[in-house]
């Protein structure tokens, strides 16, 4: 099968990744290639070791919020792609103008919804959801429930998966510090993790990209010392090394986390996850995932204590069920189903 995965203009697929979506795209594309498919990925840049082919039809824009003329130019550039090369076009980021432009290809298209159903995205996708050539896909029960209601549909669900081999399991003896890793901003709420570590007098390693410099300067930087350390924006290999000596992973996001890819990676590394219900999918019911409905950091303290009894093997076993191989198998199955349905419709239309 020939597949085009679309990220977007200016997107880098080099480590350290800016978000979990970039990690998802790289892992998914490489796995598709491993399974014998031909895969092109639209992005600005990728690692030289990538198994897929990088395609970049865009003039790079540095604008976080592209204006009308930038979007118009990007649509024209996108339309110049030779879509006949592909069986499926699979979108993964919030660039509705590209999805709209892609409709003229008359190609089977999928859009994986990696984000909550906020007002901005609902407005952009409502009209597009009525197009027969576009299939929307949810990455978790939480996301599916939100988007089914917003778009008045019943979309397929394919849980995210990770390459478990990238996350070797820690030993039971290594319990040097707590670990937190995510984008650093208010909704990811590293401040709660800092409070837990200080109260329990435990070391804490903080990893992640600073996306809100004011929040970092006000809530994080003043707390840094020998006990509370910020280690920077790290690669997957560097994060895996940090996980080997950690005792637990703190998931403190206060927004409705669409999936919790970082939490899954830490579980695969053998780390129990301790956090708020908002920070991990509610259907992750397992002894290695200790969460509370409260958003008070104080209510995480007892859960951290309980996590010490959970073995790395128990965490790994749970995470292994959500692997990249199963996820890719489900996507390929969906590709084939959608292509088959399109063939049936086209045949019926031709006979009329």
pLDDT for 171 beyond 90: no
Task: Give the pLDDT confidence of 271-324 residue by residue, as tens digits.
Answer: 999 999 999 999 999 999 999 999 999 999 999 999 999 999 999 999 999 999
Q: Which residues contact 53 (CB under 8 A, 6 or more apart)?
A: 39, 40, 41
Task: Give the pLDDT confidence of 195-230 residue by residue, as tens digits.
Answer: 999 999 999 999 999 999 999 999 999 999 999 999
Q: Quick one: pLDDT band at residue 342, thresholds 50, 70, 90? A: confident
* CATH number 1.10.3720.10 is the correct assignment for the domain at 2-161+323-351: no
Task: Note the residue count of the chain.
Answer: 352
* pLDDT at res. 129: 84
The Cα angle at residue 233 between residues 58 and 140, in degrees rounded to 5: 70
DSSP classification of residue 218: I
Burial class (CB in 10 A: 0-12, 13-18, 19+), 281: buried
Q: What is the DSSP string of 123-179?
A: HHHTTGGG-TTEEEEESSHHHHHHHHHHHTS---B----B-GGGSPPPPTT---EEE
Cβ atoms of 55 and 42 within 8 Å: the answer is yes
User: Phi and psi (nearest 5°) for 272?
Assistant: -65, 150
Q: What is the Cα Rg of the chain in Å? A: 21
Largest CA distance in the chain: 75
Same fold: 2-161+323-351 with 164-320: yes
Q: What is the rounded distance in angstroms from the CA atom of residue 273 to the CA atom of residue 167? A: 15
Measure CA of the first residue to CA of the last residue in the chain; give whole Å.
30
The full set of domain ranges for the chain reads 2-161+323-351, 164-320
Task: Read off the pTM.
Answer: 0.94
What is the CATH architecture of 164-320?
Answer: 3-Layer(aba) Sandwich (3.40)
Indicate the helix (H) or strand (E) that contains 352.
Answer: none
């Amino acid at each position: 099968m020939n597949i085009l995965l679309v990220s977007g203009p200016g997107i880098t697929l080099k480590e350290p990744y800016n978000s979990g979506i970039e990690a998802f795209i790289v892992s998914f594309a490489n796995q598709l290639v491993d399974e014998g498919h031909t895969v092109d990925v639209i992005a600005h840049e990728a690692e030289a070791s990538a198994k897929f082919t990088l395609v970049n039809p865009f003039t790079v824009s540095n604008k976080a919020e592209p204006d009308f003329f930038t979007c118009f130019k990007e649509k024209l550039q996108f339309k110049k792609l030779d879509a006949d090369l592909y069986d499926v076009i699979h979108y993964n980021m919030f660039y509705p103008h590209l999805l709209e432009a892609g409709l003229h290809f008359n190609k089977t298209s999928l859009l994986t919804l990696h984000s909550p159903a906020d007002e901005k995205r609902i407005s952009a996708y409502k009209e597009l959801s009525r197009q027969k050539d576009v299939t929307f896909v949810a990455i978790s029960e939480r996301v599916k429930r939100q988007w089914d209601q917003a778009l008045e549909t019943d979309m397929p669900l394919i849980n995210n998966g990770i390459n478990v081999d990238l996350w070797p399991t820690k030993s039971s003896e290594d319990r040097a510090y707590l670990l937190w890793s995510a984008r650093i901003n208010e909704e990811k709420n590293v401040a709660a993790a800092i409070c837990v570590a200080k109260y329990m007098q435990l070391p804490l390693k903080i990893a992640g990209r600073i996306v809100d410099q004011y929040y970092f300067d006000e809530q994080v930087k003043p707390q840094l010392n020998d006990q509370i350390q910020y280690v920077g924006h790290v690669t997957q290999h560097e994060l895996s090394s940090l996980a080997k000596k950690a005792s637990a992973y703190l998931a403190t996001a206060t927004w409705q986390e669409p999936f919790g890819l970082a939490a899954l990676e830490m579980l695969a590394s053998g780390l129990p996850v301790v956090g708020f219900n908002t920070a991990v999918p509610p259907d992750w019911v397992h002894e290695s995932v200790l969460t509370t409905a409260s958003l008070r950091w104080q209510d995480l303290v007892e859960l951290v204590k309980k996590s010490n009894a959970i073995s790395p093997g128990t965490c790994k076993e749970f995470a292994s069920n959500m692997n990249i191989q199963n996820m890719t198998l489900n996507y390929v199955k969906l590709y084939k189903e959608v292509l088959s349905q399109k063939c049936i419709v086209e045949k019926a239309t031709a006979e009329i």
